[in-house]
């Protein structure tokens, strides 16, 4: 029998990069769910202050196995 997966949508941010924001999303989600299989970056945006990017933000879908 194949695994059944659930998908949740999360928002995450970092002051370093979009990749760091994705890593933050997975790290934080792993505190509540286990068996994370993948992350799909749905949307990216950045907060700008004084002509400089200050926050990298993502909307992502994280899939994980159900027990």
As a whole number, mean pLDDT of residues 25-50 equals: 97
Q: What is the DSSP string of 7-43?
A: EEEEEEEESS-HHHHHHHHHHHHTTT---EEEEEEEE
Residue 13 structural domain: 5-65
We report the CATH number of the domain holding residue 55 as 3.30.1660.10
pLDDT higher than 80, residue 51: yes
Distance CA 58, CA 27 (A): 14
Model pLDDT, residue 39: 98
Report the domain count for the chain.
Answer: 1
User: What percent of the chain stands above pLDDT 70?
Assistant: 97
Planar angle of CA 64, 37, 35, nearest 5 degrees: 55
Sign of the CA dihedral with 19 first, then 21, 27, and 33 last? negative
pLDDT tens profile 1-25: 468 999 999 999 999 999 999 999 9
């Amino acid at each position: 029998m194949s695994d059944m997966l659930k998908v949740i949508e999360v928002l995450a941010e970092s002051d370093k990069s979009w990749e760091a924001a994705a890593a933050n999303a997975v790290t934080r989600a792993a505190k509540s769910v286990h068996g994370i299989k993948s992350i799909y970056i749905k949307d990216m945006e950045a907060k700008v202050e004084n002509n400089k990017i200050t926050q990298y933000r993502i909307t992502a879908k994280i899939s994980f196995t159900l027990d």
